């Protein structure tokens, strides 16, 4: 049998570290034993900040390792919420860092997850995260678990990036048959990255909720006497319990300050304790920080802005200090129990980091985030890491910021993290971009935000969009054939009023009715599409207007080999479909009625009604409004 207490308490940990936690340790012990016996599960340790969730995860880790589990661990953070699959990469990167590991674990269906672990600038195609990537990550997990029991440990799940959170929810429903235990901790008082997904994880039948409670007055008295002396009087201990509500972290932080202040633990000082109130951590941390040498404070603030795991060079740049001084300051901060003593740099608890971070004025925080972004950029950090800092930095209409956010959005899309890509592009619009880039940026945002029946895979980069159409897809309503098909692929931007939208279109046309071009859509019954379509063994210029019934016309394409330019122009209550060889001299192929004074969806279309799917490419995209 697994005995968590034996493993958790081994070594130099204080005897009172797990006061009144027998119930919680027992629940985790049962789950570990169950996983060993073929009953996989998910433990969700829930509670307010400081209640001891991380310590319980640490106990579970020690016990699982002692029972022969392989443990893969990750810790989510506020500053990595926008890093797609950041937590997944923390979990699996140690096993996939070398080619041998990748060859061993990324085999078979797991290969579909390979793009998650590629460098952000490798040019890998993005994919529909709803199945392909998640399915691949499931098989990465299954491959590892086939080698022996596996514990996936995730702290601060409420800060988890959405892509990783989706993976946890996906894996949880498919644990049957795997030697896997997932153990995660989430703060109940914090707004999660995705409350719906977190609730889905918590409510799944396989999940077991572990909810540590505040310590009793008796337990707090034991902690007070262990830290301040056995002579501590009961009214003083009771005041400590009242001021902290029995929250273990608040108790420890309060006792550190009282010890540093040489406060006598007697009845006479009980009132002073009550004055500390519920803001014990913030007050005590800032008080301890204020007593340290002045050159230490900028280092603590730099780590707070950069987030846990920040490297020495980045911290030195943000703190405006040389690396030797930063290293010395980190040692002082560790001695004051503000930073962890071990590397990488990080705070002893997220509440301690919050106290330092929120002590900064809002404007000062923005400037430090800006400095952090430049530091990470100069150090060659991934675009998403730099972008996470830019999201909290001031807007200055700088072109490099817009370019980097667009790169970060591309990297996020390649990893299947649409939500992050949207945030980066919206922030780029707020910068704002140069006037000549605004419409293009709006189009990029539209291509990410809006889609109807997303293609099997689509990439966007450097103005080039490549879409891989699924088989048996089309847009058609009723006429002649008698059926309604609305499963073609469409990436769009919403536009109101008159406009002109054009793109150069090419494709690997091979099967009957393979098609690629532009589309304007009001709803499933009112739309028009125009582009190149493969009919009777050759390319044709094709236009379809649909008002409940589809109306199709074709003509010889301008070329059977070269790309052609298509343009749609909306004027009053009509739309013109135009074609060109060079992108400058267009002629009208067809004009038709389309409702005026309503917002429509405008963008790129492709479909493969008869064939097995094909690749279409779009570039030189341009959207103009009068």
Q: How far apart are the C-alpha atoms of 294 and 320, rounded to whole Å?
A: 13
- At 280-331, the pLDDT tens digits run 667 778 888 888 999 999 999 999 999 888 899 999 999 999 999 999 999 9
Q: Which two tokens stand for residue 612?
A: 């097995």
Same domain, 561 and 501: yes
Three-state DSSP class for residue 522: strand
**Given pLDDT bands bounded at 50, 70 and 90, which one contains residue 244?**
confident
Domain with residue 65: its CATH number is: 3.40.50.300
Q: Which two tokens stand for residue 567?
A: 């343009």
Q: Which two tokens stand for residue 110?
A: 């797991």
Q: Which two tokens stand for residue 442?
A: 């709006």
Alpha carbon 452 to its chain centroid, in Å, reads 23
Last residue of a domain, one of 411, 437, 463: 437
Q: How far apart are the C-alpha atoms of 504 and 345, rounded to whole Å?
A: 50
CA dist 330 to 148, 209, 293, 346, 525, Å? 39, 36, 12, 9, 64
The whole-number average pLDDT for the span 199-221 is: 93
Within 10 angstroms of residue 332's Cβ, the number of other Cβ atoms is 16
Last residue of a domain, one of 288, 305, 322: 288
Same domain, 173 and 298: no
* b (16+ CB within 10 A) / e for 442-478: bbbbbbbbebbebbbbbbbbeeebbbbbbeebbbbbe
Phi-psi region of 102 (alpha: psi -120 to 50; beta: other; left: phi over 0): alpha
In a domain, 620, yes or no: yes
Same domain, 278 and 323: no
Q: Which helix (H) or strand (E) holds 622?
A: strand 615-624
Tell me the residue range of the domain where 297 lies.
292-360
Same domain, 30 and 163: yes
Please state whether beta strands 587-593 and 574-580 pair in parallel, antiparallel, or not at all (unpaired): antiparallel
Query: Which pLDDT value is given to residue 348?
Result: 84
In a domain, 369, yes or no: no
Same domain, 279 and 309: no
Same domain, 410 and 322: no
Domain with residue 475: its CATH number is: 2.60.120.200
Same domain, 501 and 569: yes
Q: How far apart are the C-alpha atoms of 420 and 426, rounded to whole Å?
A: 10
Greatest mean pLDDT range, 276-280, 572-576, 595-599: 572-576
In a domain, 579, yes or no: yes
Alpha carbon 330 to its chain centroid, in Å, reads 29
Q: How far apart are the C-alpha atoms of 508 and 617, rounded to whole Å?
A: 9
Closest CA to 240 of 355, 226, 358: 226
- At 53-92, the pLDDT tens digits run 999 999 999 999 999 999 999 999 877 777 889 899 999 9
**Given pLDDT bands bounded at 50, 70 and 90, which one contains residue 197?**
confident
Same domain, 456 and 497: yes
In a domain, 373, yes or no: no
Q: How far apart are the C-alpha atoms of 462 and 481, rounded to whole Å?
A: 40
- At 4-34, the pLDDT tens digits run 544 333 333 444 678 999 999 999 999 999 9
In a domain, 137, yes or no: no
- At 116-154, the pLDDT tens digits run 887 654 433 333 444 678 999 999 999 999 999 999 999
In a domain, 586, yes or no: yes
Contact between 445 and 461 under an 8 Å Cβ cutoff? The reply is no
Interaxial angle between packed helices 248-260 and 217-228, expressed in degrees from 0 to 180 and rounded to the nearest 10: 30
Q: Where are the beta strands (DSSP E) in 440-480?
A: 450-452, 457-461, 464-468, 475-477
Closest CA to 351 of 284, 292, 298: 284
Same domain, 50 and 178: yes
- At 403-418, the pLDDT tens digits run 999 989 877 866 767 7
* b (16+ CB within 10 A) / e for 25-36: bebbbbbbbebb
Measured over the CA atoms of residue 200, residue 203, residue 206 and residue 211, the dihedral's sign is positive
Three-state DSSP class for residue 297: helix
Alpha carbon 50 to its chain centroid, in Å, reads 24
End-to-end CA gap in the chain: 75
Query: Taking the model in full, what pTM does it have?
Result: 0.61
Same domain, 266 and 335: no
* b (16+ CB within 10 A) / e for 74-90: bbbbbbbbbbbbbbbbb
Residue of higher predicted confidence among 227 and 130: 227
Cα-based torsion angle of the residue sequence 406, 410, 413, 415 in order, rounded to the nearest 10 degrees? -130
**Residue 206 dihedral angles phi and psi, to the nearest 5°:** -80, -15
Closest CA to 621 of 500, 530, 509: 500
Where helices occur in 178-295 by DSSP H, the ranges are 195-203, 217-228, 234-244, 248-260, 270-274, 280-290
DSSP 8-state symbol, 367: H
Q: Which two tokens stand for residue 320?
A: 């405006």
In a domain, 520, yes or no: yes
Domain count, the chain: 5
Average pLDDT score, the chain: 87
Last residue of a domain, one of 255, 288, 321: 288
Same domain, 65 and 155: yes
Say whether pLDDT at 94 is over 80: yes
Query: Which pLDDT value is given to residue 146?
Result: 95
Query: Which pLDDT value is given to residue 194?
Result: 62
Q: How far apart are the C-alpha atoms of 488 and 603, rounded to whole Å?
A: 13
Burial of 485 (0-12, 13-18, 19+ CB in 10 A): middle
* b (16+ CB within 10 A) / e for 213-226: ebbeeebbbbbbbe
Q: Which two tokens stand for residue 231?
A: 């002579």
**Residue 29 dihedral angles phi and psi, to the nearest 5°:** -60, -40
**Residue 188 dihedral angles phi and psi, to the nearest 5°:** -75, -25
In a domain, 95, yes or no: no
The whole-number average pLDDT for the span 487-508 is: 89
The whole-number average pLDDT for the span 582-607 is: 93
Same domain, 229 and 278: yes
Q: How far apart are the C-alpha atoms of 397 and 284, rounded to whole Å?
A: 40
- At 167-194, the pLDDT tens digits run 999 999 999 999 999 999 998 865 555 6
Q: How far apart are the C-alpha atoms of 604 and 184, rounded to whole Å?
A: 42
Q: How far apart are the C-alpha atoms of 43 and 151, rounded to whole Å?
A: 11
- At 329-386, the pLDDT tens digits run 999 999 888 998 888 899 988 778 888 999 999 999 999 999 999 999 999 998 989 9
Query: Which pLDDT value is given to residue 591?
Result: 96
């Amino acid at each position: 049998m697994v005995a968590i207490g034996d493993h958790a308490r081994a070594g130099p940990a204080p005897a009172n570290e797990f006061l009144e936690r027998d119930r919680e340790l027992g629940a985790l012990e049962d789950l570990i034993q169950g996983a060993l016996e073929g009953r996989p599960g998910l433990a969700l340790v829930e509670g307010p900040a400081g209640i001891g969730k991380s310590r319980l995860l640490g106990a579970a880790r020690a016990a699982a390792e002692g029972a022969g589990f392989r443990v893969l661990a990750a810790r989510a953070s506020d500053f990595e919420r926008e890093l797609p699959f950041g937590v997944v990469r923390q979990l699996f990167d140690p096993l996939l860092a070398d080619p041998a590991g990748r060859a061993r674990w990324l085999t078979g269906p797991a290969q579909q997850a390979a793009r998650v672990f590629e460098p952000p600038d490798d040019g890998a195609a993005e994919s529909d995260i709803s199945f392909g990537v998640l399915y691949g990550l499931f098989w990465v997990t299954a491959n590892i678990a086939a080698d022996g029991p596996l514990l996936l440990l995730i702290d601060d799940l409420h800060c988890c990036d959405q892509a990783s959170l989706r993976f946890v929810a996906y894996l949880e429903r498919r644990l049957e048959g795997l030697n896997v235990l997932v153990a995660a901790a989430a703060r109940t008082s914090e707004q999660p990255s995705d409350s719906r997904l977190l609730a889905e994880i918590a409510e799944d039948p396989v999940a077991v909720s572990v909810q540590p409670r505040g310590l009793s007055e008796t337990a707090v008295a034991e902690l007070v006497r262990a830290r301040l002396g056995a002579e501590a009087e009961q009214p003083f201990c009771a005041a400590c319990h009242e001021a902290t509500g029995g929250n273990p972290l608040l108790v420890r932080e309060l006792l550190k300050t009282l010890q540093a202040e040489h406060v006598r633990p007697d009845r006479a000082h009980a009132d002073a304790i009550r004055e500390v109130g519920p803001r014990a951590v913030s007050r005590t941390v800032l008080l301890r920080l204020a007593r340290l040498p002045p050159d230490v404070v900028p280092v603590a603030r730099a780590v707070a802005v950069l987030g846990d795991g920040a490297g020495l060079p980045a911290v030195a740049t943000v703190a405006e200090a040389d690396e030797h001084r930063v290293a010395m300051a980190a040692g002082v901060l560790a001695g004051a129990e503000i930073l962890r003593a071990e590397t990488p740099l990080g705070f002893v608890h997220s509440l301690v980091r919050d106290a330092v971070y929120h002590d900064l004025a809002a404007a000062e925080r923005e400037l430090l985030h800006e400095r952090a972004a430049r530091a990470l950029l100069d150090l060659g950090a991934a675009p998403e890491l730099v972008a996470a800092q830019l999201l909290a930095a001031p807007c200055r209409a700088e072109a490099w910021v817009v370019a980097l956010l667009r790169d970060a959005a591309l990297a996020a899309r390649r990893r299947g993290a649409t939500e992050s890509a949207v945030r980066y592009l919206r922030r780029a619009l707020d910068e704002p971009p140069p006037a000549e880039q605004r419409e293009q940026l709006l189009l990029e945002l539209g291509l990410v935000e809006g889609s109807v029946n997303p293609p099997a895979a689509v990439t966007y980069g450097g103005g080039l969009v490549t879409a891989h159409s699924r088989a048996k897809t089309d847009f058609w309503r009723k006429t002649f054939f008698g059926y309604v098909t609305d499963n073609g692929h469409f990436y769009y931007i919403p536009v109101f009023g008159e406009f002109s939208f054009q793109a150069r279109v090419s494709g690997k046309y091979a099967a009957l009715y393979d098609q690629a071009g532009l589309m304007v859509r009001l709803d499933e019954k009112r739309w028009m599409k125009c582009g190149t379509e493969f009919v009777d063994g050759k390319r044709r210029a094709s236009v379809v207007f649909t008002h409940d019934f589809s109306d199709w016309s074709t003509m010889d394409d301008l070329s059977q080999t070269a790309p052609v330019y298509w343009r749609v122009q909306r004027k009053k209550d009509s739309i013109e479909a135009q074609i060109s060889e060079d992108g400058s001299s267009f002629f009208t192929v067809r004009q038709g009625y389309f409702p005026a004074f309503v917002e429509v969806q405008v963008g790129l279309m492709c479909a493969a009604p008869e064939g097995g799917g094909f690749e279409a490419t779009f570039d030189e995209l341009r959207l103009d409004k009068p």
